[in-house]
Amino acid sequence: MGDHDRQETMQEIVAAMSSKGWRITDQRRSLAALFAEAKGYLSPKDVYEHMRLKYPGVSFDTVYRNLRLLSEMGVLEQFYFNEGLKFRARCQSHHHHHLICMKCEKTVSFEFCPMKQIPNLPEQFDIVSHRFEIFGYCSDCSPNLKETSKNA
């Protein structure tokens, strides 16, 4: 992520907080900056450990509540891995979906949207958004893929 993208991500998170009437404190700016700078997924514990270095009085409950609210606002995405819930800043560029390695968390975007292929969706349902992630193992982490490439 380039400097412009990081700045844009931070501004989007802060703007979402502000639009919900949150006071934009130094602590909340730090939270936004953490996600703007993060290269991967962060667990609530990761975020809490980072925040309490600068803000020793912060509670885990406060951090967790903020993460859930930011996720509900749509500026953070939440993912369920084997070891639990993790968050990252929402992809801003355009509509796409992800392949996510369950071991190393490598994430690959793909442009195909399966929603266009789902037949017979109820007409009386107004779909506002959707997410589609495929979890598996990348070629570096999958013993099956390593075996296949050795035998090829």
DSSP secondary structure, 71-123, as one string: HHHTSEEEEEETTEEEEEEPP-SSS-EEEEETTT--EEEE---GGGG-----T
CA nearest 46: which of 80, 6, 86? 86
Binding-site residues, in ranges, read: 95, 101, 104, 130, 138, 141
Binding-site residues for Fe cation, in ranges, read: 95, 130
Binding-site residues for Zn(2+), in ranges, read: 101, 104, 138, 141
Residue 143: strand pairing partners: none
